[in-house]
A and B are shown apart, each in its own frame.
Chain A
Amino acid sequence: MFLEVEDLTKRFGGVVAVSGVSFKIQKGEIVGILGPNGSGKTTLLSLLAGLLAPTSGRVLWQGRDISGFKPDAIAAAGIVKTFQNPQLFAELSVHDNVMIASHLALKRLLGSRRLGTFFCAKGADRELQIRAERVLELCRLTAVVDKPATNLSYGEEKMLGVAMAMMCEPKLLLLDEPASGLGHEEVVHLGLVLRDLREHGTTLCIIDHKVAFLADFAHRLIALQNGMKIAEGHPKDVLSDPTVITAYLGRHHA
Chain B
Amino acid sequence: MSSVWLLTPLYLIPVFSQSEVLLTILIFTFILSILAIGFNIVFGYAGQLTMFHGAAFGIGAYGTFLIHSSLGISFWLALLPTFVAILLLSLLVGWICFKFRLREFYFAVVTLAFSELVRLVILNWNSVTNGSLGLLVLDKPTFWLPGVGVMMIEGTRAWYLLALTSLLVVAALSYVLVRSWIGRNFAAIRLNEELAQTLGIDTFRYKLLAFAISNIMAGYAGALFGFYTNYIEPSQLSITQSLDAIAMVLLGGVGSILGPVVGAFVLTGLPHVINLSAELRAAAYGAILIVAILVMPRGIVGLLSRSRHVS
A residues at B contact (CB < 8 Å)? 49-51, 70-73, 75-76, 80-81, 83, 87-92, 96, 99-104, 106-107, 114, 117-119, 121, 164-165, 167-168
Asked whether A72 and B185 contact (CB < 8 A) given A51-B198, A96-B310, A119-B176, the answer is no
Give Cα A101–Cα B201 distance, bound, in whole angstroms: 8
In the complex, A209→B181 CA distance in Å? 38
Interface of B is mostly: helix
CB distance A106 to B195 under 8 Å? Answer: no
Q: Are B198 and A103 in contact (CB under 8 A)?
A: no
Top 5 nearest A-B pairs (CB, nearest first) are A75-B200, A104-B200, A71-B197, A87-B195, A89-B191
Query: Closest residue to A92 on the B side, CB-wise?
Result: B310
| Residues in chain B within 8 A of chain A (CB atoms) | 176-177, 180-182, 184-185, 187-188, 191-192, 194-204, 308, 310-311
- The answer to whether A99 and B311 touch across the interface, beta carbons within 8 angstroms, is yes
Provide the bound-state CA to CA distance between A91 and B201, in Å.
19
* A72-B203, A92-B310, A99-B311 known; A83+B195 contact, CB < 8 A: yes
Q: In the bound complex, do residue B198 and residue A80 qualify as a contact, i.e. CB atoms below 8 Å apart?
A: yes
Residues of A contacting B195 with CB < 8 Å?
Answer: 83, 87-89, 164
Give B297 Cβ to nearest chain A Cβ, in Å.
13
Q: Which residues of B lie under 8 Å from residue A104 when comparing CB positions?
A: 199-200
Bound together, the chains give a CA A55 to CA B188 distance in angstroms of 29
A72-B200, A80-B199 known; A117+B194 contact, CB < 8 A: no
A71 (CB) vs chain B CBs: closest residue: B197
Write the chain A residue with the least CB distance to B173.
Answer: A118
Q: How far is the CA of A104 from the CA of B202 in the complex (A)?
A: 10
Q: How far, in angstroms, from A102 to B180 measured CA to CA in the complex?
A: 12
Question: Do B197 and A91 touch across chains, with their CB atoms under 8 A apart?
Answer: no
CA A81 – CA B202 in complex, angstroms?
16
Q: Which chain B residues border A106 with CB–CB below 8 Å?
A: 181
Does A96 contact B311, Cβ atoms closer than 8 Å?
A: yes
Q: Within 8 Å CB of A121, what residues of B?
A: 180-181
- Complex CA gap A119/B175 in Å reads 11
* Assembly CA distance A25 to B194 (angstroms): 25
Output the least CB separation between A156 and chain B (Å): 16
In the assembled complex, which residues on chain A have CB atoms less than 8 Å from the CB atom of B204? 70
**B308 and A103 contact, CB distance less than 8 A:** no
Find chain A residues with CB under 8 A from B180 CB: 117-118, 121
Closest to A80 in B: B198
C-alpha spacing A91/B192, complex, angstroms: 11
**Given known contacts A92-B310, A117-B181, A118-B180, A101 and B199 CB-to-CB distance under 8 angstroms:** yes
